[in-house]
Amino acid sequence: MPAVTETIDTVQSVTEGTYKWGFETDIEMEFAPKGLNEDIVRFISKKKNEPQWLLDWRLKAFAIWKKMEEPVWAAVKYPPIDYQDAYYYAAPVQKVKPKSLDEVDPELLRTYAKLGIPLKEQAILAGVEGAGETPSDAGRMPVAVDAVFDSVSVATTFKARLEKEGIIFCAISEAVQTHPELVRQYLGTVVPQGDNFYAALNSAVFTDGSFVYIPKGVRCPMELSTYFRINAKSTGQFERTLIIAEEGSTVSYLEGCTAPMRDENQLHAAVVELVALDDATIKYSTVQNWYPGDAEGRGGIYNFVTKRAHCRGRRSKVSWTQVETGSAITWKYPSCVLLGDDSVGEFYSVAITNNRQQADTGTKMIHVGKRTTSTIVSKGISAGRGQNTYRGLVRVAPTASSARNFTQCDSLLIGDQCGAHTVPYIENRCMTAKVEHEATTSRIAEDQLFYCRQRGLSEEDAVGLIVNGFCREVLKELPMEFAVEAQKLLQISLEGSVG
Partner 1 sequence: MTALVTGAAGFLHRFEGLQQRLPGARLPFVQALREQAAEAFRRQGFPTRRIEAWKYTDLRPVAEAGFDEALTAMDDSPALPPAHGAARAVFVDGRFRADLSMLDGLSYGAESLAAALERQEGRLGALARPVEQPMAALNTMLFEDGLVVTVPAGVAGGVLDLVSLGTASERPEAFHPRHLIRLEAGASLTIIETATGPAEARYLHNPVYEIEVAFGAVLTHARLQQEGARAFQLSTAYARVEKGGTYDNFTLNAGGRLVRNEIHTVLAGPAATCHMNGAQLLRDGQHADTTTFLDHAAPDCASRQTYKTVLSGRSRGVFQGKIHVHQVAQRTDGYQMNQALLLSPEAEIDSKPQLEIYADDVKCSHGATVGAIDAEQLFYLRARGIPEARARAMLVEAFLREAIEGVQDEAAREALDAAVTGWWDRQGEAA
Residue type, position 344, single letter: V
Query: Residue 172 in contact with residue 203, Cβ under 8 Å?
Result: no
Output 55 or 423, the one with its CB closest to partner 1: 423
Q: 443 forms bridges with which residues in the sheet?
A: 413
Output 310 or 356, the one with its CB closest to partner 1: 356
- Please give, one letter per residue, the 3-state secondary structure of 92-125: ECCCCCCCCHHHCCHHHHHHHHHCCCCCCCCCCC
Distance between CA atoms of 231 and 26, rounded to whole angstroms? 9
Output 261 or 444, the one with its CB closest to partner 1: 444
- Report, in Å, the least distance between residue 270 CB and partner 1: 26
Output 332 or 404, the one with its CB closest to partner 1: 404
- Report, in Å, the least distance between residue 382 CB and partner 1: 8
φ and ψ of 201, to 5 deg? -60, -45
Positions that interact with partner 1 (CB under 8 A): 73, 398, 411, 413-443
Residue type, position 17, single letter: G
- Report, in Å, the least distance between residue 402 CB and partner 1: 10
- Report, in Å, the least distance between residue 65 CB and partner 1: 21
Q: What is the dihedral sign for C-alpha 39, 40, 44, 50?
A: negative
- Report, in Å, the least distance between residue 466 CB and partner 1: 14
Q: Which residues contact 79 (CB under 8 A, 6 or more apart)?
A: none
- Report, in Å, the least distance between residue 341 CB and partner 1: 18
- Report, in Å, the least distance between residue 467 CB and partner 1: 14
Q: Which residues contact 31 (CB under 8 A, 6 or more apart)?
A: 87, 89, 90, 232, 235
Output 170 or 444, the one with its CB closest to partner 1: 444
Output 328 or 418, the one with its CB closest to partner 1: 418
Output 37 or 417, the one with its CB closest to partner 1: 417
- Report, in Å, the least distance between residue 359 CB and partner 1: 14
Output 250 or 408, the one with its CB closest to partner 1: 408
- Report, in Å, the least distance between residue 149 CB and partner 1: 40
Output 280 or 467, the one with its CB closest to partner 1: 467
Output 295 or 445, the one with its CB closest to partner 1: 445
Output 18 or 440, the one with its CB closest to partner 1: 440
- Report, in Å, the least distance between residue 326 CB and partner 1: 23
Q: 127 forms bridges with which residues in the sheet?
A: none
- Report, in Å, the least distance between residue 73 CB and partner 1: 7
